Structure 1
């Protein structure tokens, strides 16, 4: 631990920049402990806190800007890769969509304080068509608030954190083993949760695009339900013919008010493993409505050669 504190004393800003950059790019390594150490260092070195704050904010903004650009260029396809890189369960996409639907750009302010939202919020904002200037402004506010709080907590409790580091230093190699075990336990827990959620998603009944098209051609009372999130001010996106939009951020008794009667609801989204569509279908079934999920979502529909309509 003495080596750690010495390295941080001489290369603290580099450590802050790398830790924040790697986490915000998708590495499953939390940077908050490094920001707390920056706060401890700031308590004993004048001006270091401000430099660490600016370094962390700029690093987060840079990484988030890259993911926003990827979301703008590649659309929601980039989310599938992010779910693997960050070891985040696919439900994180659903949580982000619900948060954008409920809070709009405020999602970018709170995202870094919510596990699973931080890495997916920027590319989803790009995929939803949020204007770049709006994203950069609100994301900068969220990055600055997150970095300031973490460094501020480290500065406020620098005596307690320093005492903890000294205690760990006395443990020697045992402390290193404990830290490694904690990291491995964290990664194992994330992978275990992902496996459970993946099994839940895979169990839900899917319906092929060709079968849905046949039901519509037969005039069956089937209602398509679009659960994709929309960013405030973003242009309307094409949808499946006759689809109704269901806001995952506002599910309640009035969510289906004014909807036509249907023999079956078929939900769809544009997300990894149809995670948002499964959530909506589960909610519909809990309220007594037969529901299935369109396999592959809107991309599966267009890949099968079927057309869309303008919302």
Structure 2
């Protein structure tokens, strides 16, 4: 009998509540496998299925409410923090914002099925000013769908889950430890590559004062705005080339012809700018520099912006 099954059978619903709460709070402790195993245990009559669902949904809502109020109170600062600690730079935040712009609070219905999306979605819901009753309605339904699917999966495949748990038990602690080490090494490798590349660009960053000076010269650099389209419409550096996602062939060709390319975004450490800089370097563009502080630093310095 595996440690997970022992943990659920010994601590019951409290173990499930804690796992769901911690995962939805942002810790890397996957709760879906726990819910599936708990569903299997409930199907065997050792847990109450209605209570299992109720406790799990309550745990998810508790964590999401924390993110909701944090997003309402701290807004952009919280988004910046999430961007900074994410293994995938602010692309995840950009995708979250795009989903909200398209679907509104309905995006909460699917948030928990997308890795890394749930906490961002709850925080963005608070930042966007979605009313609490509306948030609770859609987030509650989304949580119920997420929990219910796991519990039903556990109940429907209880015999297969029992076989899987027995197989894992036969693998032993050493085998499980090896799996954990492999997954941890993968995450660490991604983090290290991102950090090493960010360091290599950090020495090359250009300040807003330097960029403003270059824009006054006859031979101006090519400035590329890589923020989400809705943010670009709020205002951009005059003359900036607007790029959403990957560069087109025409945009890449324009960058290759430019004497110097300046890339900016609105994320700490210029994460998106660094990604685009990497893509440009791979296409042969030699002089690429991220803008230190991005558009926020440009605005704070009092320099002009243009909008549609």
Smaller-chain TM-score range? 0.7 to 0.9
1:32 match: 32
Structural RMSD (CA)? 4.0
2:90 match: 93
1:64 match: 64
1:179 match: 176
Gaps of 5+ in 2: none
CA offsets, 1:3-32, max 9 Å, x none?
754552363321221111111212122112
Q: Quick check: 1:109–1:138 contact (8 Å CA) kept in 2?
A: yes
Gaps of 5+ in 1: none
SS of the residue 1:218 aligns to: coil
Q: Quick check: 1:35–1:154 contact (8 Å CA) kept in 2?
A: yes
Q: Quick check: 2:96–2:120 contact (8 Å CA) kept in 1?
A: no
Q: Quick check: 1:92–1:117 contact (8 Å CA) kept in 2?
A: no
Deviation at 1:185, TM superposition (A): 3.4
CA offsets, 1:250-273, max 9 Å, x none?
8656889xxxx9765533222232
2:271 match: 275
| Residues 21 and 94 of structure 1: CA distance in aligned 2, closer, same or farther (over 3 Å) | same
- TM-score, reference length from structure 1: 0.75
| Residues 3 and 30 of structure 1: CA distance in aligned 2, closer, same or farther (over 3 Å) | closer
**1: CA distance, partners of 2:129 / 2:228:** 12
SS of the residue 2:263 aligns to: strand
**1: CA distance, partners of 2:19 / 2:227:** 33
Taking CA–CA contacts closer than 8 Å with sequence separation of 6 or more, which of the two structures ends up with the larger relative contact order? 1
Q: Quick check: 1:24–1:63 contact (8 Å CA) kept in 2?
A: yes
Stretch moving more, 221-230 or 92-101: 221-230
1:195 match: 192
CA offsets, 1:230-287, max 9 Å, x none?
67xx997454455564333x8656889xxxx976553322223212222344556677
| Residues 3 and 293 of structure 1: CA distance in aligned 2, closer, same or farther (over 3 Å) | closer
1:296 match: 293
**2: CA distance, partners of 1:203 / 1:141:** 45
SS of the residue 1:36 aligns to: helix
**1: CA distance, partners of 2:137 / 2:216:** 47
Deviation at 1:37, TM superposition (A): 1.2
